């Protein structure tokens, strides 16, 4: 991975951190406090629920033009962490 890819990955992770806080209205959470590898849907991480997943899916579609839904292969894996979401977005938005 070259320096440009590393910078792009870091920018995407930061954007996803902000998107999650904004889209889900997590007023008590600072985007930078969400670790890229922290679980999104368990109590050890953000503790999001199925409604949050739906809202996050809509926000991802609007911002990145990608669709994640129950029919998406490995949807649980893609929604596991911010890092896994970033990887999914990168893989599905390249020309």
Residue 17 is part of which domain span? 3-93
Identify the band that residue 70 occupies on the pLDDT scale cut at 50, 70 and 90: low
Query: How many structural domains comprise the chain?
Result: 1
Q: Is 45 helix (H, G, I), strand (E, B) or coil?
A: coil
Lowest mean pLDDT among 18-22, 67-71, 87-91: 67-71
pLDDT band at 74 (very low <50, low <70, confident <90, very high): confident
With cut-offs at 50, 70 and 90, classify the pLDDT of residue 80: very high
Q: What is the 3-state secondary structure (H, E, C) of 25-92?
A: CCCCCCHHHCCCCCCCCCCCCCCCCHHHHHHHHHHHHHHHCCCCCCCCCCHHHHCCCHHHHHHHHHHH
Domain of residue 50, CATH code: 1.10.1200.10
């Amino acid at each position: 991975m070259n320096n440009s890819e590393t910078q792009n990955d870091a920018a995407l992770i930061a954007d996803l951190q902000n998107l999650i806080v904004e889209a889900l209205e997590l007023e008590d959470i600072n985007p930078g406090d969400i670790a890229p590898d922290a679980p999104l849907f368990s109590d050890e991480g953000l503790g999001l629920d199925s409604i949050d997943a739906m809202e996050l899916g809509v926000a991802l579609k609007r911002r990145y033009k990608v669709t994640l839904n129950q029919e998406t292969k490995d949807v649980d894996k893609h929604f596991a962490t911010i890092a896994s979401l970033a990887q999914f977005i990168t893989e599905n938005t390249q020309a």
